[in-house]
Structure 1
Amino acid sequence: MSAAAKTFYMETFGCQMNAHDSEKVIGTLEHEGYVRVQDEEAAELILYNTCSIRDKAEQKVFHRLNEYKRMQGEGKQFAVLGCVAQQEGEKIFEKAPFVSLVSGSASYRNLPEMLVRLEAGEKRITGLDDRRTQDATFDTEFTTRSNPHRGYITIIEGCDKFCSYCVVPYTRGKERSRASDSIMAEAQRMASLGYTDIQLLGQNVNSYRDPLGQRTFAQVLESIGVLHGVRRVRFTTSHPRDFTPDIIEVIDRMPTVCDHVHLPVQSGSSAVLKAMQREYTREWYLERIGWIKAAKRDISMTTDIIVGFPGETEEDFEMTMSLLDEVGYDAVYAFQYSQRPNTPAVGMPDTVPDDVKSSRLQRLMDAQRERQRIAYERHMGQVMDVMVEGYNSQRGQITGRSSQNKTVNFTTTQPILPALGSYQQVKITRSFPNSLVGEAVLAG
């Protein structure tokens, strides 16, 4: 790799945690003198940040790497990062010998040292969590944030829940929380730089336990919400087992803490939840939903659902369907069950045929679409505070997001379009199952 121009290209797949991890890696690379390019053809180092949650994730990684293989003779170097890197480890070198660096997320703090070895010509460098590095949470000192208005802060890494279908504990390791003073220092830096929308991240974000013993998760939300310049505080993803009433109390008390809760249920059947090792029942989950519905604010509720888990009967599935009516979700992210490596569910007979899984998924999404249409209609005539995210010149609309995390497309009579990252009062005039339409309300 030439000393004159150390260029790199980063490709990211997966969740917001992965996207934020890439921001950390990009910031570290730039601090080490690398220059980011937007085309892999122009890069000397190509990094692929992977996710292993979805079906056939490993095959997709190796298929993508095979596409990169044609560039091997051009002197390029390749790195595989993230969950698939942690899961597959050195097997990646065997399947893709042209890859020089494999690193899981817990080892990103060692990236500068790994880059030195890479530049020295070393061919097989691994940064894999060996359980001795788990207690050190990666700090974000050199984070390069992709959005100048909305920023992420990781407050907890890993997972101790060991749901039977989930690979996260095996790729991200055990739960380790970041000290609250470190969180607050980063939030303060972001606020002083003009970030108005701060989102707290964690595999189970509300499982946060302050190592200093100073703040609960709800108190972290409140502390960030009072910072000068902060307009919105979000958090994802919550786990029902650690969802407590004080979270709702803070949302009710603090206008800056967004009125949106993503609370994955996975199934509406207590029998399936038990097989999933979720360690709560349908009734227990609905008690938490009751807390949310009892709030003074209208809190948007979204969830994740898995259909076709081993042993799921038609009756189990119908219990999930009935949950859509009982809760009234504003959005549902639903997926067919697929076996993930190293998880307890791998040993369970996959008793639900693929065509039945597909049929159930379609039935669920069709039903949710109709319920969502009704749910969105409740906003008709309301005036919402909308953060401007972009412009759609073809439609002549401005695109933004409400505090409930809903897409709002709106028009304005003003000759100058509002700036990206600014906030506009918008009166809702139309609703669709996945978005709202409105008109900007003029001040005064």
Structure 2
Amino acid sequence: MATGKTFYIETFGCQMNAHDSEKVIGTLEQQGYAQVQVEEDADLLLYNTCSIRDKAEQKVFNRLNDYKKLHKLGKRFAVIGCVAQQEGEKIFERAPYVSLVAGSASYRKLPEMLARLEAGETRITGLDDRQTDLTFETEFTSRQNPYRGYITIIEGCDKFCAYCVVPYTRGKERSRGSDSVLEEARRIVDLGYTEIQLLGQNVNSFRDPQGKRSFAELLAALGEIPGIRRVRFTTSHPRDFTRDIVEVIDAVPTLCDHVHLPVQSGSSRILRMMAREYTREWYLERISWIKAAKRNIALTTDIIVGFPGETPNDFEQTVDLLNEVQYDAVFGFKYSPRPNTPALVMIDSISDVEKSTRLQVLLDRQREIQRVNYDKHLGEIMEVMVEGTNPGRGQITGRSSQNKPVNFTWGGPIAPAPGSYHRVRVTKTFPNSLVGEAV
């Protein structure tokens, strides 16, 4: 390597990618590399990529192009993650200065690949074990989040939704043994973390290979570990969302009162075309379980507008679903074709202008729903976990158990540390956040 063993890593995409980067960073550091925060200071530049959204590949290649001049200075480039798995060796053709291409299932081989890179190899791939049942070892995880510890409990997806590239980049569903999950949770507590978030493309599709615990039983066991104050999980799939998940949230106070349950469309016809394997009625039954809980469980979702064949009536059914469910937040997206997915053969006849219009209608309606939902917290005293500060406004930033952003004033001379918990009285509300003062 040019000047030593330093690396820079940039992460695109979801929380699973962010946690994958923690594993990669830990492995690199164990191999003697030091992390730097500026591309120019690094000997090895890694881009951990996501392929879920439109133009994801182009975003990565644009970034590579921005810094290709550094290759002349002896820098090496690596593309890892979902775009790496999706594009494979084509990355070498489009960006010949890239030396390493590896999918997420290959990270356990990273030490070997780094040794080959240091020996002078210029085209190294880790793309051949996407279906492996071996999970990436976590003993070298370098946790970057100062207040939340992530644990991946299931990798991949068997659902094959018509629009989604995940089964082709992350492979089949592989669950981790529940004993291993609990052991890592205890290690995280020993590091000082009090909030844990379980991760998986379909986290509630977890099937314990040891046969010891269901997903709900795993949640209960995690919530009872001494030192843990909050347990979150994302993302759930409606097909595998069972009533006992709601029951365990009711029974174990350390489980956060928030469920993210992506619906994608309010039209059963479109859900069938999306291959979501449930109907509007099936989904609403699960929502009824959540709303019947003793605790007030916040509900959030994902929605795609403009899927091929979506009529104005189909879209109206989606808006009507918002009115019926009254979500606390909606993540809305315009449909975009992804490589290798079944929807590619469908006629995408809805113009981008129409997709944008529908998305805006959806978000405007949701904003009004959230305004009402958030107003209900006015005057409430809630526990908030600190995430940081907003010096410009003189506020502390944090989140409630329901995963709602809370910004509050602090009377003391020293700001509270990230990860600490404080009681906050809500004095003002907005459609996307709450404002208050420490009690």
Normalising by the smaller structure, the TM-score range is: over 0.9
Q: Per-residue displacement from partner, 1:133-191 (whole Å, max 9, x unpaired)? A: 52111121100001232110000000000000000000000000001111011001111
Q: Please give the alpha-carbon distance, in whole angstroms, between the structure 2 residues aligned to 1:360 and 1:258.
A: 32
Once the two structures are TM-superposed, the CA of residue 31 in structure 1 deviates from its matched residue by 0.3
Once the two structures are TM-superposed, the CA of residue 61 in structure 1 deviates from its matched residue by 1.3
Secondary structure at 1:249's aligned position in 2?
helix
Q: Please give the alpha-carbon distance, in whole angstroms, between the structure 1 residues aligned to 2:294 and 2:343.
A: 40
**Conserved? CA contact 1:106–1:137, under 8 Å:** yes
Once the two structures are TM-superposed, the CA of residue 105 in structure 1 deviates from its matched residue by 0.1
Corresponding residue for 1:391? 389
Secondary structure at 1:257's aligned position in 2?
coil
**Match runs of 1:133-172 below 5 Å:** 134-172=132-170
The alignment's C-alpha RMSD in Å is 1.0
**Conserved? CA contact 2:195–2:229, under 8 Å:** yes
**Conserved? CA contact 1:45–1:79, under 8 Å:** yes
Q: Please give the alpha-carbon distance, in whole angstroms, between the structure 2 residues aligned to 1:130 and 1:365.
A: 40
**Match runs of 1:2-401 below 5 Å:** 5-131=4-130, 134-401=132-399
Letter paired with 1:45: L
Q: Please give the alpha-carbon distance, in whole angstroms, between the structure 1 residues aligned to 2:85 and 2:391.
A: 43
What residue ranges of structure 1 are gaps of 5+ in the alignment? none
Q: Please give the alpha-carbon distance, in whole angstroms, between the structure 2 residues aligned to 1:248 and 1:344.
A: 33
Corresponding residue for 1:423? 421
Q: Please give the alpha-carbon distance, in whole angstroms, between the structure 2 residues aligned to 1:130 and 1:257.
A: 34
Once the two structures are TM-superposed, the CA of residue 416 in structure 1 deviates from its matched residue by 3.5
Q: Please give the alpha-carbon distance, in whole angstroms, between the structure 2 residues aligned to 1:325 and 1:307.
A: 16
Letter paired with 2:21: S
Once the two structures are TM-superposed, the CA of residue 358 in structure 1 deviates from its matched residue by 0.7
Q: Please give the alpha-carbon distance, in whole angstroms, between the structure 1 residues aligned to 2:343 and 2:73.
A: 43
Once the two structures are TM-superposed, the CA of residue 396 in structure 1 deviates from its matched residue by 1.5
Once the two structures are TM-superposed, the CA of residue 130 in structure 1 deviates from its matched residue by 4.1
Q: TM-score normalised to the size of structure 2?
A: 0.99
User: Does residue 412 of the first structure (1) align with residue 404 of the second (2)?
Assistant: no
Letter paired with 1:37: V
**Conserved? CA contact 1:86–1:129, under 8 Å:** no
Secondary structure at 1:190's aligned position in 2?
helix
Letter paired with 1:36: Q
Q: Per-residue displacement from partner, 1:252-273 (whole Å, max 9, x unpaired)? A: 0111000000000000000000
Kindly tell me the number of residue pairs found equivalent between the two proteins.
Answer: 439
Q: Please give the alpha-carbon distance, in whole angstroms, between the structure 2 residues aligned to 1:26 and 1:438.
A: 37
Moved more, 88-97 or 375-384: 375-384
Letter paired with 1:259: D
Letter paired with 2:58: Q
Letter paired with 1:100: S
Secondary structure at 2:25's aligned position in 1?
helix
Letter paired with 1:19: A
Once the two structures are TM-superposed, the CA of residue 232 in structure 1 deviates from its matched residue by 0.2
Letter paired with 1:114: M
Q: Please give the alpha-carbon distance, in whole angstroms, between the structure 1 residues aligned to 2:140 and 2:411.
A: 41
Letter paired with 1:32: Q
Q: Please give the alpha-carbon distance, in whole angstroms, between the structure 1 residues aligned to 2:86 and 2:381.
A: 47
Secondary structure at 1:107's aligned position in 2?
helix
Q: Per-residue displacement from partner, 1:94-152 (whole Å, max 9, x unpaired)? A: 11000000000000000000000000000100000345x52111121100001232110
The change in CA–CA distance for 1:416 and 1:320 in structure 2 (over 3 A counts) is: same
What residue ranges of structure 2 are gaps of 5+ in the alignment? none
Q: Per-residue displacement from partner, 1:337-363 (whole Å, max 9, x unpaired)? A: 000000000000002111110100111
Secondary structure at 1:155's aligned position in 2?
strand
Q: Please give the alpha-carbon distance, in whole angstroms, between the structure 2 residues aligned to 1:93 and 1:297.
A: 52
**Conserved? CA contact 2:42–2:75, under 8 Å:** yes
**Conserved? CA contact 2:101–2:124, under 8 Å:** yes
**Conserved? CA contact 1:5–1:35, under 8 Å:** no
Q: Please give the alpha-carbon distance, in whole angstroms, between the structure 2 residues aligned to 1:258 and 1:328.
A: 19
Letter paired with 1:39: V
**Conserved? CA contact 1:310–1:349, under 8 Å:** yes
Q: Which runs of 4+ in 1 moved over 6 A?
A: none
Q: Please give the alpha-carbon distance, in whole angstroms, between the structure 1 residues aligned to 2:341 and 2:198.
A: 27
Once the two structures are TM-superposed, the CA of residue 417 in structure 1 deviates from its matched residue by 2.8
**Conserved? CA contact 2:105–2:129, under 8 Å:** no
Once the two structures are TM-superposed, the CA of residue 64 in structure 1 deviates from its matched residue by 1.1
Secondary structure at 2:67's aligned position in 1?
helix
Once the two structures are TM-superposed, the CA of residue 418 in structure 1 deviates from its matched residue by 2.1
**Conserved? CA contact 1:430–1:438, under 8 Å:** yes
Q: Please give the alpha-carbon distance, in whole angstroms, between the structure 2 residues aligned to 1:421 and 1:43.
A: 30
Once the two structures are TM-superposed, the CA of residue 65 in structure 1 deviates from its matched residue by 1.1
**Conserved? CA contact 2:5–2:33, under 8 Å:** yes
Q: Please give the alpha-carbon distance, in whole angstroms, between the structure 2 residues aligned to 1:160 and 1:393.
A: 45
Q: TM-score normalised to the size of structure 1?
A: 0.98
Q: Per-residue displacement from partner, 1:21-67 (whole Å, max 9, x unpaired)? A: 00000000000000000000000000000000000111111111111
